[in-house]
Chain A
C-alpha cells in the first residue's frame, strides 16, 4: 500500500510543479488512477464492498472527466503557466518538503494518535496540505483548479480512511457537488480565455492599423 501512496504523491508533485499546463493536466490521470487503485485495495484488504462502487465512480469522475475538463481549459490560451508567487526552484523544494517530510510526519502522527484510521489517512492529509500550498502559491487559473482537485482528492481519501462505512449516498453527493463546482470553474475559464483572446486580437488590430497609418 505504501508504494501506491508514494506514487500518488509523486504524480501530485509533477502535476503541481510542472510548468506546462497540458502536462500538468495529463499527469492527473495516473494520479487519479492510483487513487482508484488505493481505494480498491482498501476495499479488498478491509473487506468493505461498498468502496468498490466509490472506486468505479472515482475512476469515471477523477481519472476520465476531470482531465478532459482541464484540457478543455487550455483551448485558446498558452500552455505555459502564469508566473507563480513563489519562484520555481524554491517552490520545488517546498513541495518536496511538504510531500515527503509531511507524509512521514503524518504517518508517525497517525500511528500514535489514530491507529484505527485506514492507511490512506496520511496520503489524504498530505494531499490536502499540499493542495492548499499550491492554491496559495499559484496564480494561474488552471493551476488553481488543479490545486482544488488535489485538495478534494485529499478530502476524499480522508473520508475513506476515517469513516469508511459512511453512507455512500452522502459520498456520491459530495462527488456530485465537486463535479458541479469544476464544471462552473471550467466554464468561467473558457469564457475568460475567449475574452482575453478577443482583447489580444483587438490590440493587434489597433497596433497594425497605427503602423499602416504611419
Chain B
C-alpha cells in the first residue's frame, strides 16, 4: 500500500479504528476524548489531501478500479461531518458529564459510536457504487440510534424506536430504486455514470425510480410528509447529539438526494416539479408547526424541517445558481442548527428543562448564550450579514425564475420561522423573572466555545463568503458534472 493510499483511506479508517480503541480502552481518564480528537484531525488531513488532488485532476478522482469517486461535493460533505463531529465531541465532554452522570460507565461507548458513525459517513461520501453508498448510509443511521436513546428513559426509547423504524423502512424505498436502476441499465450503477444511465432510461422506469429515491432520501432527511421521526428524535436526544443528527446524519439524506434525485430532475421536468412541491410543503408546514411549540427543541426541529425544504427545492433546480444555493444552504443549515441546539444545550445545562415556560422561570444571566441564540434565530430568517442571507437569496432568485410561487413560500416560511424563534428568544431572555435577573448561571467554557464557533462562522461566511465559495463552487460543479 502506497503512502498516498494510506492518506486517502484515513478519512474513514481513522475514525473507525479510533472507535474500536475507545470501545476497548476508552473507560480510563481522558483517553476517549484524546483519541477522538486525534482521529478527527487525521480525517481532516486526509480530506484536505483529496482537495489538493482533485484540483490537479479536473475536479474528480476515481480510485481503486472505480470503487471510489471523489469530487468537490464529497469533500465538502466530509469536511462538514468532520467539523460537526469535532464540535460535538468538544461540547459533549462537560455536557454529558453533568446531565448524564448516571450513564458514566457508557461515556466511552457514546464517543465510540460518534466516531464509528462519522467513519461510515465519510466512507459513504466517497464510494462510487450506489449499493455500497446505501449500505454505509444505513449503517451510520442505525448507529445514531444509540446516541438518541443514550438516556434510556421511556421518551428517548420511544423516539429512538420511531427514528429507527421510520428511517429504515423509508430508506428501503431508495434501495428498491437502486435495484430498479441496476435492472434497467443491466449493470451496477456508479455515481460517475449515473447521469448517462438516467438519461437512457425508459420514461416510466425513470419516474418510478425517482419517486422511490424521493421517498427514501426525504425520509432520511426528515422532510414533510416523511418527517414523523424527526421532532421526537431531535427533542429527546442529548443536545450535542441533536447537533450531530441535524448537522451530519440528516445531511446523508441530502447527499443521496443530490446524487440521485437531482440527476433525475435534470432530465425529467415532472420530477423537478414533484420535488419542488414537496419541498415547498416542508418549508411552509415546518414553519407553521414551529409556532406554539412548548418544547424549545421541537420548535427548532420544525424550523429545521422548514429550512431543509429550501435545500430540497434548490437541489431539484436545473441551474448552477439553484444547486449552488442548495449546497451553501446545507453548510449554513448545519451551522445554524449548531448554534441553536448548542445554545439550547447550554440552557438545559443551566436550567435542566426544555419546556419554554419552565426555562423562563428558572433561567439566570447567560448573556453569551442569549446572544448566540439571537444570532441563530436571525440567521434562520436569512438576515443580511449572515451566511444564510446569501444562500437564501440565491435559492430565492433561482426558484423565482421558474417557480415564483415556491420562491414566495420560501420568503413566507423564513418570516414565520424567524418570528417563532425571536418570539421565544425574547420571551426567555428579555422577559425573564425579576428574581432571576441577578442570578448568574454557570456554563462551562467548552460549551460556550462550540456555540460561539458556529455563531462566528455564520457571520464570517456572511461577510467574507469568498472563504467558502471555492469549496461550494467545486461541490456544485461536481453535482452538475455527474448529471451530464
User: Chain A: residues with CB nearer than 8 A to chain B?
Assistant: 114, 117, 128, 132, 135, 141, 144-145, 147-148, 151-152, 155, 158-159, 162-163, 166-167, 170, 173-174, 177, 180-181, 184-185, 188-189, 191-192, 195-196, 199
Contact among A144, A163, A196 for B182, CB-based, below 8 A = A163
In the assembled complex, B158 has its CB within 8 A of some CB on chain A: yes
Contact B182 A155 (CB under 8 A): no
Q: Which residue of A lies closest to B159 (CB)?
A: A188
CB distance from A131 to the nearest CB of B (A): 8
Q: Given known contacts A162-B183, A177-B142, is B168 in contact with A148 (CB within 8 Å)?
A: yes
**Number of interchain pairs (Cβ within 8 Å):** 79
User: Chain B: residues with CB nearer than 8 A to chain A?
Assistant: 129, 131-132, 135, 138-139, 142, 145-146, 149, 152-154, 157-158, 160-161, 164-165, 168-169, 172, 175-176, 179-180, 182-183, 188
Q: Given known contacts A135-B169, A148-B165, A181-B164, is B179 in contact with A192 (CB within 8 Å)?
A: no
CB distance from A191 to the nearest CB of B (A): 5
Q: Given known contacts A155-B176, A155-B179, is B142 in contact with A180 (CB within 8 Å)?
A: yes
Contact B176 A158 (CB under 8 A): yes
Contact A195 B160 (CB under 8 A): no
* Contacts A170-B135, A174-B131 supplied; 12 other A-B pairs, CB < 8 Å: A117-B183, A144-B165, A145-B165, A148-B169, A151-B169, A155-B175, A158-B176, A162-B180, A173-B132, A174-B135, A177-B142, A195-B154
Q: Which residue of A lies closest to B155 (CB)?
A: A195
Contact A184 B131 (CB under 8 A): no
With a cutoff of 8 Å between Cβ atoms, the chain A residues found around residue B157 in the complex are: 188, 191-192, 195
Contact A162 B168 (CB under 8 A): no
Q: Which residue of A lies closest to B152 (CB)?
A: A191
With a cutoff of 8 Å between Cβ atoms, the chain B residues found around residue A128 in the complex are: 176
Q: Given known contacts A152-B172, A181-B168, is B179 in contact with A188 (CB within 8 Å)?
A: no
Q: Which residue of A lies closest to B137 (CB)?
A: A177
A174 to B154: give the CA distance in the assembly, Å: 30
Contact B135 A177 (CB under 8 A): yes
A152 to B138: give the CA distance in the assembly, Å: 14
Contact A185 B165 (CB under 8 A): yes
CB distance from A157 to the nearest CB of B (A): 11
With a cutoff of 8 Å between Cβ atoms, the chain B residues found around residue A166 in the complex are: 131, 182, 188
Contact B154 A132 (CB under 8 A): no
Contact B169 A170 (CB under 8 A): no
Contact among B135, B139, B161, B188 for A188, CB-based, below 8 A = B161
